[in-house]
Structure 1
Amino acid sequence: MPPGRMDGARTRKDLGGWDYLSRISCKDPFVICPNRQVIHGQFAIDTKNKDVKYACADLMRCNQRQMRYKLKKAYFNGVAADKVRTTSPLSTMTDEQWMQLVNMWSTPKHKDKCVNNKVIRGKVRFQQKTGSRSYIAHMHAVDTMEALVAEPGVEGKESKTPTEAVAQVLSSSKFLHNIGLVPATKKSCNGGDPTRVAELEAELESEKQNSLAVRAQLDALKKVEESEEARAKELEKINDLQKEADETNALLRRLFSLNK
Structure 2
Amino acid sequence: MMKLAVRQQRYRLKKTFFDPFPLHLVMKTSPINSMSDKQWIDLVESWKAPEKMDICQTNKDNRDNVMLHQTTGSQSYMVFVENIGDKYSGHEPDAFDLFKDCHYNKKTKGYTPAVQAAIAQMENKLSTTTESEAPKVVNQVVADVLAERTRKNQFLCNVGIEIAQPTSSEQNGAVPDLQAENAKLRSIINTQHRQIDDLTMKVHETEEGRIGTKKRQVRSKLSWKRNLN
Give the TM-score normalised by structure 2: 0.32
Larger radius of gyration: 1
Per residue, is there more helix in 1 or in 2?
A: 2
Bigger relative contact order (CA 8 A; separation at least 6): 2
Give the alignment's TM-score, normalised by structure 1. Answer: 0.28
